[in-house]
Amino acid sequence: MTDSLSRREFLGASGAAVGVALTPAGATAAPKGRTAERMVDVTCNVNGRPVSAHVEARTTLLDHLRERMDLTGTKKGCNEGACGACTVLVDGKRMNACLILLAQCEGRAITTVEGIAQPDGSLHPVQQAFIDHDAFQCGFCTPGQVVSAAACIAEGHATSEASVREWMSGNLCRCSAYPQITAAVLAAARRA
């Protein structure tokens, strides 16, 4: 009977061997079951509420919003800052939440799609315009599009179709609802 390794076992053993070979002399591994990452305390404001957290320094704003705060409107799309599905406002400016660490948000105000609605609970003009203009199909990109559109209007860039397309170009829609999105942003800008 021959001893054979499964592909998974082979890859695991190979990875461990490479890790040992690349470890500098005298270096020690992190204790098993404990993280080697530095922990940080962060206090910020999310959708008008003060938030304090004790997290690993490498925790992204996106992961904290979704996994710790259950604010799942902010979507994890590409996780590389290329699609805009995770767009939030940080101190009123558009940011991809996957590219900013929670530790960088110390003392800052964060607004997610859940915080876009009006104080009385009614829809933000952008949200209503997206409904009126059927500016979504699958809906995955919609939260990022709505947040980015609200910022586009506040920044004064929602003046023409060309301007909206340019200033919303960081938000991708795989369903290609761009004509409806552009119409919705311009309609909301007229209401603002």
Q: Where does a domain end: 88, 115, 142?
A: 115
Kindly state whether residue 170 falls inside one of the protein's structural domains.
yes
* Termini Cα distance of the chain: 77
In this predicted model, what pLDDT tens digit does every residue of 120-175 receive, in sequence order?
Answer: 889 999 999 999 999 999 999 999 999 999 999 999 999 999 999 999 999 999 99
Q: What is the pLDDT of residue 176?
A: 93
Looking at the structure, tell me whether residues 107 and 172 fall in a common domain.
no
Q: How many structural domains compose the chain?
A: 2
Q: What is the pLDDT of residue 70?
A: 96
The residue behind tokens 């098993």 is: 32
Kindly state whether residue 5 falls inside one of the protein's structural domains.
no
Domain limits at 163?
Answer: 125-191
Q: What is the CATH number of the domain that holds 141?
A: 1.10.150.120
The one-letter code for the residue type at 111 is T
Looking at the structure, tell me whether residues 53 and 109 fall in a common domain.
yes
List, in order, residues 6 or more apart from 151 with CB less than 8 Å away.
89, 92, 93, 94
Looking at the structure, tell me whether residues 105 and 143 fall in a common domain.
no
H helices of the chain, where? 7-22, 61-63, 125-132, 142-154, 161-167, 178-191
List, in order, residues 6 or more apart from 127 with CB less than 8 Å away.
116, 117, 146
Looking at the structure, tell me whether residues 110 and 136 fall in a common domain.
no
Kindly state whether residue 17 falls inside one of the protein's structural domains.
no
Kindly state whether residue 31 falls inside one of the protein's structural domains.
no
What SS3 state is found at 87? strand
Q: What is the CATH number of the domain that holds 83?
A: 3.10.20.30
Q: Where does a domain end: 90, 115, 140?
A: 115
Looking at the structure, tell me whether residues 76 and 143 fall in a common domain.
no
Copy the structure tokens of residue 57.
Answer: 């320094």
Cβ atoms of 139 and 70 within 8 Å: the answer is no
Kindly state whether residue 150 falls inside one of the protein's structural domains.
yes
pLDDT along the chain (192 residues), means of 10: 60 56 48 65 97 96 97 96 97 97 97 92 94 94 97 97 97 95 97 86
Q: What is the pLDDT of residue 30?
A: 47
Looking at the structure, tell me whether residues 107 and 171 fall in a common domain.
no
Locate the DSSP E strands across 9-92.
Answer: 39-46, 49-56, 87-90
Q: What is the pLDDT of residue 90?
A: 98
Q: What is the pLDDT of residue 23?
A: 47
